[in-house]
Amino acid sequence: MCGITGIYSHKPVAAELYDSIIHLQHRGQDAAGIMTYDDRMHKEKGMGLAKEVFNEINMELLTGSIGISHNRYPTHGGFSHGEVQPFWTSVPYGIALAHNGNLTNYQDLAEEITNKDSRYLNTNSDSEVLLHYFADLLHTNNPPEDSEEFFYLLCNAVTKIFKHVKGAYSVVSLVIGKGLVVFRDPQGIRPLVKGERPNGNGGKDYIFASENTMFYALGYEPKGTVLPGELIYVDETGNVFNKRLIKKSFNPCIFEYVYFARPDATLNDVSVYRSRLRMGQNLAEAWKNKYPNKIPDIVIPAPSTANTSALSFAHELGVRYSEGLYKNTFIGRTFIMPGQAERKKSVKYKLVPQETEIRDKKVMIMDDSIVRGNTSREIVRMLKDFGAREVYFAVACPPIKSPCFYGVDMPTKNELIAGNMTEDEIQEYLNVDAILYQKIDDLVEAVTRKGDHHIDTPCMACLDGNYVANDIDEAKINEIETMRVNDRNGK
């Protein structure tokens, strides 16, 4: 899971790309990169948070009014500086690319690119493979001279990508002398939204991003979503060309609404905040039906992604909502830390119980999801250490039983607590007095209840094992899991 942005503007874009990275920092803390161009490419990238990578000196080098940016949270490839996006190649034109998602046929594509097309791969990143595949499709003996001809070339190239590249991918790309190129996989698994603003000269500036969280701050008006299977091209003079090249079922990732996206985002024309409120409502009704005699004194969210769901959950139960766990905001999101030891170490640094809210009370913990179970178990232990009389656990997401191969860091089934335990066993493992998971139908209803979203069925492979791109079998699972374990171990 990563954060990407592409901007076409009438003025230099580096500062706005930096602001975009800051607004998308929750989507990736491992690394950050920006690339712009005027008559040549300008890039700056590094390991760590955006504020650690960029400074006044290197930002001044990022000249140009067209650019892309990327926050990295690795699900494929290693953890070195060489893996940091955007990637770029000098042939043809000069092309840079940033990508959010995961290619499930990476190995086949890498072999084709290196053996057949004689291109050199410097990393194990599937984004670099996608860049070279795209670049090779744009290579022609008769380069197009005008924007319409180039858009025709783009349509042919991206159509081939849609037919041969499997998995999930939302892409922003720069092409020297041509402009900004944006496309999204045919099922729209990973998010990509768009916005516009007047430039004061009768034209418009354009932005494309994983979320629209930065639009208001930068003066952009949201203009909905990049459609699944859609290609958008903004040339150097601001002319926009777009075409939906392939139409399949629309299957955006449901975990974006559960956990990843910021609550103020609107993805696929659905409010993340409202969907989380509805998750809490639906789960509260289920709790009352299953546990009519277990009414907590307070509802405490596991901060901060669960706050919204916990608020509506408490309201539906008619009990007090309390921020009984203080979150140290200077600790990163434990779910996206690279390694179990780092995650376990960080929990007690990250969360501190408020004793006056907990002692001698029946406490309901509301969490957005339980992936590995480490954080959940530590939270329960903290509450009992601080005198909770009983501890209940409600989960806005159904049990996560299968690994995700479309861009979320759930690399092996062995790491998923619900992939190896029943709900009763999880209740015992967490040492809680009662537990309730959201039902899949109730989660889907919460996300799709309102909005002109045109979602057919959300991708829920991590919940139901249905890989919507029809690209996963047991052999592929073993291949990708082995690859990711090797990535983590530096092999």
Residue 191 contacts residue 170 (beta carbons within 8 Å): yes
Instruction: List, edge to edge, every strand of the sheet that includes 167-175.
Output: 87-89, 95-103, 167-175, 179-184, 230-235, 240-244
Strands 66-72 and 31-37 turn out to be: antiparallel
Reduced 3-state DSSP string for 205-259? EEEEECCCCCHHHHCCEEEEECCCCEEEEEECCCCEEEEECCCCCCCCECHHHHH
Token pair 């040492």 is found at 431
Residues 6+ apart with CB under 8 A from 9: 16, 65, 66, 199, 205
| Count of CB atoms situated within 10 Å of the CB of 61 | 11
Of 2, 253, 397, 404, catalytic: 2
Is residue 33 within 8 A of residue 44, CB to CB? The reply is yes
Contact between 377 and 451 (Cβ < 8 Å): no
The packing angle between helices 272-290 and 307-317, to 10°, is 40
Count of CA atoms in the C-beta half-sphere (13 A) of 358: 23
DSSP for 25-63, please give it: GGG--SEEEEEEESSSEEEEEEES-HHHH--HHHHHT--
> What is the token pair recorded at 274?
């409202």
d(CA 266, CA 361): 37
- Please tell me the distance from the alpha carbon of residue 6 to that of residue 182, in angstroms, as a whole number: 8
- 418: tokens are 């619900």
For residue 369, cis peptide bond before it (omega within 30 degrees of 0): no
Q: Which of 133, 189, 85 shows the shortest CA–CA distance to 406? A: 189
Place of tokens 């609107």: 266
| Distance (Å, whole) CA 192 – CA 407 | 14
Catalytic, 2? Answer yes
List, by residue number, the catalytic residues.
2
